[in-house]
Structure 1
Amino acid sequence: MRQGPLAGRYPAVAAMVTLALIPYLALSAALDPLVPIISAQLHMTTQAMALSSGLGNAAYAVGTVLAVQFAQHLPQRRMLVGYAVVLVVGSVTAAAAPNATAFIVGHVLQGLATSMLLIAAAPPLTIGFPREKLRNTAVIMNMCVFGAVALGPFVGGVQASAHAWRPLFWIVAVIALLALILAALTFDDAPPADRDAPWDVTAIALAAVGCTAAFVGAAQLTSHEFSDVAVTGPMFGGLALIVALIVYQFRARRPLLTIRTMMTSAIPVAGVGVALFAAAASVAATALTASVFMQHFSPVQVGLLYLPELGGALVMAVVFGIVISRRAMHFLPLVGMVLLAAGIAVFRASLPANVPLALVGSALTGLALGATVAPALFVAGFSLQSNSLQRVFAIIELLRAVAAFMVAPIFTHLATRYSGDLLEGTGVALWVGFALAIGGAVFGVAIYALSGARPQTPDLDEFLDGDSPAWYSPPLLARLRRLPPPPSPLVAAGRTAPAPHRHPLTPTGPVLFAYDGSELAGHAIMQAAEQLSPRDAVVVCVWQPVDVGFTPLDNQPFDADRASQVRLAAERTAAHGATLADEAGFRSCSVAIEASPTWKGIVEAADGHRASMIVLGPHRRNGLLGHLQGSVPAAVVAHTTIPVLLIPEPSSTCSTQRPPARTDAKVASGA
């Protein structure tokens, strides 16, 4: 595998990620004071400028989905270099644009490349280095996203005071070029994540058409009323397509995005929800107040008013780095939402031109931004295995882009159209943002309370090793659904507790199906449905490298010597078992567990999910020795106090169904 001279060196990789993400995000926040200058020089209308921003933001949202799809089938690091090339091309095209068309094309390429770089580069920076680097990564990620956004108004104001815009765009192009150079120097060739994954054209089409329509519709608010079909048609139609994307991915057998896993687990739902509320509410505290301040101060002075926001984001980024390995990490987004509400309230009091209050509001907003979205993103990511982090980032950035970038034109429209007075309209919009901040805090607390989730210290070693999530996340709304309480930290981490836990015979816990992909395991699910009332179910597939331990779904080839490929095959097999369980009437989720021997993984999964029953389909064994030696059902019964339901093999079936050993897997993979 080819490597660059700086491959594997954390400072170089971190610098590459920083330089890749900052240009577009800072530029997006810096554009407002430059709009009149760009419009005059390129002969663009205000509507055209709004359309340019909308299309760039739509491309940013769509790029998250494209990056995940490309990572499945194409060499990941080579694609990262390709994304950096696109960022350079887009930045140069925008900076040198002779007309409106070239400017829009360049800006769209910048948005597309930035999100693809985020999805391709940020997860490897997070999980590809030792644990002690994770704190630095948290600070870098926070500053890349929100530090750049906080710096944008000041940079834009300085550039606007010079009555020019191209120098800033050329600086952005130079930064993009440096990111490309570092991407080449840190190159470390990596294979595709899963060549056998389907090309999900439907998901990509829904994301592309939905985001484009929604953002274009919102951009029309610059020159149209909210009730116009030109606004409501594409905007609500696009939102409907985005909802359809989420539903489609939730129900898909082999989804591109891990919607189902995230949306059925309490802590990821709370994290994503808080991030969306924060993204939407923060718009009120920045773009709206800036439009009022511009009537009283110069662009540079307005930029200086927002400079404390950068300081607040930096302070909170450091705090995030400190608490990322502690239980307090769960509380940081909640603190951020309170600070955001306070910042919006202070901004409201600062209108129309109270400088001291504006500086305080800016600092509070910076602290809030640093404490909400990025920490909430990691809170959601730590609730899943690290191999899902790329898809977690993609989902959150897709939804955050919709929440933040599409809400901004709506708030601006409300402020300018309400009663015909900008100051009064901005005040009303700020109160809406204040309500969103409070609502986000209440939402996060409610999800934790109603699901029985509790703040936990993350097990970062387990997470970074890919063995398990950093903490246990109970099913969504488990208390309302009367599911059992979460397990102890030891059980949640996949380890056996010091003393055995007695599980009462109760129907409230989920049924656990041990599914190895065989016909007998599927038969056991169907037969259990006839004996048990509809309830929650967990379908677990236990795997081991080399020996595998299960029958691959549809005999799809994989290399049994590579743990990553075996794990992916086991996840697909478990997901297929969950589909069978859903069809049988259960409300199921799937999980793949690495364990040896197999019975140990089944028992630990049952303990971790507080299962009320384990369902097994034992394979037929011939002869006395076959009945006596180490069968999985016998070992499970011997090592658990949970009731075990055995579904025998149908008498009409004479062949023995066994999970493949190493040789079988090699034959399946064509080796």
Structure 2
Amino acid sequence: MRQGPLAGRYPAVAAMVTLALIPYLALSAALDPLVPIISADLHMTAQQMSLSAGLGNAAYAVGTVLAVQFAQHLPQRRMLLGYAVLLVVGSVLAASAQNAGMFIGGHVLQGLATSMLLIAAAPPLTIGFPRDKLRNTAVIMNMCVFGAVALGPFVGGVQAESQAWRPLFWIVAAIALTALILAALTFDDAPPADPDAPRDLWAIALATAGCTAAFVGAAQLTTHGFGDMAVTGPMLGGLALIVALIVYQFRARRPLLTIRTMLTSSIPVAGVGVALFAAAASVAATALTANVFLLSFSPVQVGLIYLPELGGAVVMAVVFGIVISRRAMHYLPLVGMALLAAGILVFRLSLPGNQPLALLGSALTGLALGATVAPALFVAGFSLQSNSLQRVFAIIELLRAVAAFMVAPIFAHFAATAADDLVTGTGIALWIGFGLSIAGAVFGVAVYALSGARPQTPDLDLFLDGESPAWYSPPLLARLRGLPAPAPEAEPAPAAAPPPPSFATDSPGPVVIAYDGTERAAAAITAAAAALPPGRQALVLCVWQPVDVGFTPADGRHLEADKAAEVRRSAEQTAAYGATLAAEAGFAVCSKAVEASPTWHGIVATAKEHHASLIVLGPHRRNGLLGHLQGSVAAAVVAHTDIPVLIVPQASSLVAVGD
């Protein structure tokens, strides 16, 4: 499989994910103080600016569904490169905009590309590396989403102070370009997840029409009232279409999104519910109070008021990384909702301009954001098999976008019209946000209590292996419905692993033949047999990877890449088929399938474990500049081992590399 020079290196992949998600999410939170400046420069009305934000957020929501669909039928890592290119194009278009059309188009592309990058890159980062990296991933995911959002008001305030907006947008474009470069350098080719899956055009159509209508309707509140059909028609119609999407996916035989699994299990429902309440309530704690503080402070001073929010998010991201492997993980979202309620209450007391209280409210809100949405997302994800993680992320981000981004203009309109002045109206809206945070905590506790769910220590090894969820989640409302909610059944003792292939100690070490099911790999077996003495002992090795597969199944069938148990079995069958070819070629052969990422690491480690005397490879190669950036498995193996390597680039030629 084609790979980049940094493929499988956790720091590089984590940096790529971070840089891919930061631009749009930080920019969305930074726009408010820049709206007057952008409007004046591009001759845009307030309604056009609101429409730009609404369409960008709608594109973010729709992108979650599109990314899941594309992953089924198109090469996943190549699509990730495409999404990164789209993010760069959108960022450049917005930064260089000369009119409203260019700006809105660029912002829409930014939102669409960001959510698609999140769905394409985050699950492999979570389950594609060993367990000891999961803690770091939890911190990174928390900071990518909520750290970026918390940083937004400060960045926007600093930029607004200079009465300019393009420098910030060009910085965002530069970050997006860096993410694209890292996406190329960390490229690790992967086949589609399930080419036989249905193309669910109805799901895409419902998501697109529903999100667009709902967000456009909410955006109309800038110049219209709640009773105007320009608002209520699109909003209610869009929400009805989103509900129809959920019902349709719940009833579908082969759904694109795992709605049925999530909505019938208690812990996922609790996790998703808490995430939605937190997303909606947090709007009141940030966007609304910022509008009031701008009456008393400069934009940069307002930005500094919200800087403790970033500090709180950092602290709670670290806490989340610590508890992700512990029973306490279940309690973190509940603590977060309590902190959010406290933060909103302190913000209410700080109006119209008590700076010390505002700083305290900002810190509490940052702690709350870091403790709620990302932990709730993982609580839901751990309740299902790891092969569902991509779809879980997609569902939660789709619903969270609706809860947060659509509620924001509704709250803003309510604060501006509910009373005679903005301060009083914002105070009323804050009380509503306070009520939402309390309701979210009560909802989560009630779902656990009425379902018989209990906090449990996650079995991360079982989860990452794809064998089962990290813990047991009883049926939704099992106690209320009179259903038994038994404790999880004891897992049967795993079958003893087959002994590793053994070779005579008085003979040279075995030849390790990397076999990935391709014709080139089969040709390498034949060529190696012709070049070596007959009867040499050989170990045919097939390396597989969760999510990315990493080989071509011997029986030619398509695998659903995120079903790790199925992929492992197919890898074992593929290795056995390769061993049959090697035996026919004259080797004394054994076979083995190994899970490793990147592929070269599994080859090198296995060769070292069995004291191999030679490694045989039949690598793939792509022409062009990107092909050189991606590198190859063969080059990585040669660079990381002292064992001689026999490379068969063509059926008729051999290249020996070694000491």
The residue number in structure 1 matching 2:90 is 90
**In structure 2, distance between residues paired with 1:213 and 1:428:** 28
Assess if the C-alpha contact under 8 Å between 2:281 and 2:433 holds in 1: yes
Cα contact 1:273–1:440 (8 A) shared by 2: yes
2:43 equivalent to 1:43: yes
Tell me the secondary structure at the aligned position of residue 438 of structure 1.
helix
Deviations 1:441-475 (A, max 9, x none): 00000000000000000000000010110000000
Q: How far apart, in 1, do the equivalents of 2:370 and 2:453 lie?
A: 24
1:124 corresponds to: 124
Q: Deviations over 1:284-321 (max 9, x none)?
A: 00000000000000000000000000000000000000
Which amino acid in 2 is paired with 1:341?
A: A
Alignment partners' CA distance in 1, 2:409 and 2:560 = 45
Give yes or no for the alignment of 1:309 onto 2:274.
Answer: no
CA distance 1:569–1:131, shift in 2 (3 Å): closer
- Greater relative CO, 1 or 2 (CA 8 Å, sep 6+): 2
Q: Which deviations, in whole Å up to 9, do the C-alpha atoms of 1:200-219 show, x marking residues without a partner?
A: 00000000000000000000
- Who is 1:288 aligned against? 288
Deviation at 1:563, TM superposition (A): 10
* 1:130-176 Cα deviation digits (max 9, x unpaired): 00000000000000000000000000000000000000000000000
Q: Report if the CA contact (8 A) 1:559-1:566 is conserved.
A: no
Letter in 2 for 1:21: L
- 1:88-125: per-residue Cα shift (whole Å, max 9, x none)? 00000000001000000000000000000000000000
1:265 corresponds in structure 2 to 265
* 1:73-472 superposed matches below 5 A: 73-472=73-472
- 1:32: Cα distance to partner? 0.1
3-state DSSP class of the match of 1:60? helix
The one-letter amino acid paired with 1:419 is A
Question: What amino acid is the match of 1:312?
Answer: G
CA distance in 2, matches of 1:114, 1:319: 26
Q: State the distance in 2 between where 1:39 and 1:369 align.
A: 30
Query: What is the CA-CA distance between 1:566 and the residue it aligns to?
Result: 10
Report the Cα offset of residue 560 of structure 1.
5.7
Name the CA distance, whole Å, in 2 between partners of 1:562 and 1:474: 34
Task: Supply the AA of the counterpart residue of 1:92.
Answer: V
| Alignment gaps of 5+ in structure 1 | 497-557, 572-592, 595-671
Contact 1:277 1:436 in 2 (8 A): yes
Q: What is the CA deviation profile of residues 409-442 of structure 1, one whole-angstrom value per residue up to 9, with x for unaligned ones?
A: 0000000001231011000000000000000000
Paired letter, 1:140: I
Name the counterpart of 1:611.
Answer: none
1:44 and 1:269 map into 2 onto residues whose CA distance is 42
- The answer for the alignment partner of 1:639 in structure 2 is none
Distance verdict in 2 for CA 1:569–1:187, change over 3 Å: closer
Whether the 8 Å contact between 2:32 and 2:156 is mirrored in structure 1 is yes
CA distance in 2, matches of 1:323, 1:494: 27
Distance 2:312 2:23 in 1: 20
Query: 1:480 deviation in Å?
Result: 1.1
| 1:599-648 deviations in Å (ceiling 9; x for gaps) | xxxxxxxxxxxxxxxxxxxxxxxxxxxxxxxxxxxxxxxxxxxxxxxxxx
Q: CA deviation at 1:485?
A: 2.6
Q: CA deviation at 1:481?
A: 1.5
Determine the structure 2 residue equivalent to 1:29. 29
Who is 1:628 aligned against? none
Whole-angstrom CA distance in 2 between matches of 1:158 and 1:284: 22
- Number of the residue aligned with 2:484: 484
Secondary structure in structure 2 of the residue aligned to 1:419: coil
Shift of 1:378: 0.1
Q: Deviations over 1:563-593 (max 9, x none)?
A: 955996999xxxxxxxxxxxxxxxxxxxxx9
Q: TM-score, normalised by structure 2?
A: 0.76
Deviation (angstroms), 1:484: 1.5
Contact 1:34 1:156 in 2 (8 A): yes
Instruction: Give the AA of the match of 1:223.
Output: T
Q: Conserved in 2, the CA contact under 8 Å of 1:273 and 1:443?
A: yes
Rounded Cα–Cα distance in structure 2 between residues aligned with 1:127 and 1:181? 23
Task: State the identity as a percent.
Answer: 84
Tell me how far 1:177 sits from its aligned partner: 0.1
Deviations 1:338-392 (A, max 9, x none): 0000000000000000011000000000000000000000000000000100000
| Distance in 1 between residues matched to 2:188 and 2:445, nearest whole Å | 42
Instruction: Flag the 1:421–1:37 CA change in 2: closer, same or farther, 3 A.
Output: same
Distance 1:567 1:303 in 2: 42
* RMSD of equivalent CA atoms: 2.0
1:607-618 matches, cutoff 5 A: none
Closer/same/farther in 2, CA of residues 126 and 356 from structure 1, 3 Å limit: same
Change (3 A) 1:454 1:355: same
Change (3 A) 1:456 1:495: farther
Taking the aligned partners of 2:418 and 2:411, their CA distance within structure 1 comes to 10
- What amino acid maps onto 2:316 in structure 1? M
Give the AA of the match of 2:225.
E
Alignment partners' CA distance in 2, 1:344 and 1:332: 18
Q: Hey, what's the Cα distance between the residues in 2 that align with 1:133 and 1:38? A: 42
**8 A contact 2:26–2:148 mirrored in 1:** yes
Of residues 477-486 and 309-318 in structure 1, the stretch that sits farther from structure 2 once superposed is: 477-486
Shift of 1:260: 0.2
Alignment match, 1:536: none
User: Counterpart of 1:187 in 2: which secondary structure?
Assistant: coil
Counterparts in 2 of 1:566 and 1:408: CA distance versus 1, 3 Å: closer
Structure 2 alignment gaps of length 5 or more: 495-552, 571-659
Equivalent positions of 1:588-603 (< 5 A) are none
| Contact map agreement 1:559 1:565 (CA 8 A) in 2 | no
- Taking a change above 3 Å as real, the CA distance of residues 566 and 178 of structure 1, as seen in their structure-2 partners, is closer
C-alpha separation in 1, matches of 2:419 and 2:336: 32
What is the TM-score of this pair, normalised by structure 1?
0.75
Cα distance in 1 between the residues matched to 2:401 and 2:354: 31
1:331 match: secondary structure: helix
Mapped to 2, the partners of 1:49 and 1:428 lie a distance apart of: 26
**AA partner of residue 332 (structure 2):** L
Contact 1:305 1:358 in 2 (8 A): yes
Paired with 1:570 and 1:179, the residues of 2 have a C-alpha distance of 32
1:334 CA displacement: 0.2
Q: Say if 2:466 and 2:565, in contact at 8 Å, map to a contact too.
A: no
CA distance in 1, matches of 2:161, 2:396: 36
| CA separation of 1:134 and 1:248: change in aligned 2, threshold 3 A | same
- Separation in structure 2 between the aligned mates of residue 563 and residue 478 of structure 1, nearest angstrom: 37
Q: Residue 418 of structure 2 aligns to a residue in which SS? A: helix
Structure 1 residues 451 and 463 mapped into 2: Cα distance closer, same or farther (>3 Å)? same
* Partner of residue 654, structure 1: none
